[in-house]
Amino acid sequence: MGKVDSRWHGWSPRLLSILRIVASFLFMQHGAQKLFGFLATRPGPERFSQGWIGGVLEFFGGLLLLFGLFSRPVAFILSGMMAVAYFQFHSERSFWTIQNGGELAAFYCFVFLYLSAAGGGPWSLDSFWRRRA
């Protein structure tokens, strides 16, 4: 392993945390749009509808993930939610994600699946509490 490789490899845990933070911040915006009308172009879904529950999971699940709290189970739930969203709303239109509009749903599904296995990284509340215990 070269000098650059070893230096870059040392960033791997930190980049895991950065991936979690950025992905959850972007994901939360979808929930904020549905629940609070933040940058919305249309009214939000009715309370307790499937769209509203999705907004709750997007915003509050994203918030938990942003701070790295219960990262693995939250990421697993969000991954499943995105898989359902993809197959329920996108896959029937076309096999290709670029044609069916499901790129984000598929991307979030696999990012969250990865986070459910990898955890929140060193810059997470999970990691902070584990070090203090």
Could you tell me the residue range of the domain that residue 109 belongs to? 3-132
Residue 91 sits at φ, ψ, to 5 deg, of -60, -30
The position carrying tokens 């997470």 is: 124
**Do 103 and 110 form a contact (C-beta atoms < 8 A)?**
no
Query: Beta-carbon neighbour count of residue 77 at 10 Å?
Result: 17
CA gap 112, 2 in Å, rounded: 31
35 C-beta neighbours (distance < 10 Å), count = 20
What the block records as the tokens of 62 is 């994203």
Count structural domains, the chain.
Answer: 1
Per-residue pLDDT of the chain (133 residues; tens, 9 = 90+): 567 677 788 899 999 999 999 999 999 999 999 999 988 888 889 999 999 999 999 999 999 999 999 999 999 999 999 999 999 999 999 999 999 999 999 999 999 999 999 999 999 999 999 888 7
Which pLDDT score, from 0 to 100, does residue 2 have? 65
Q: Which residues contact 116 (CB under 8 A, 6 or more apart)?
A: 71, 72, 73, 75, 76, 79
Distance CA 104, CA 129 (A): 32
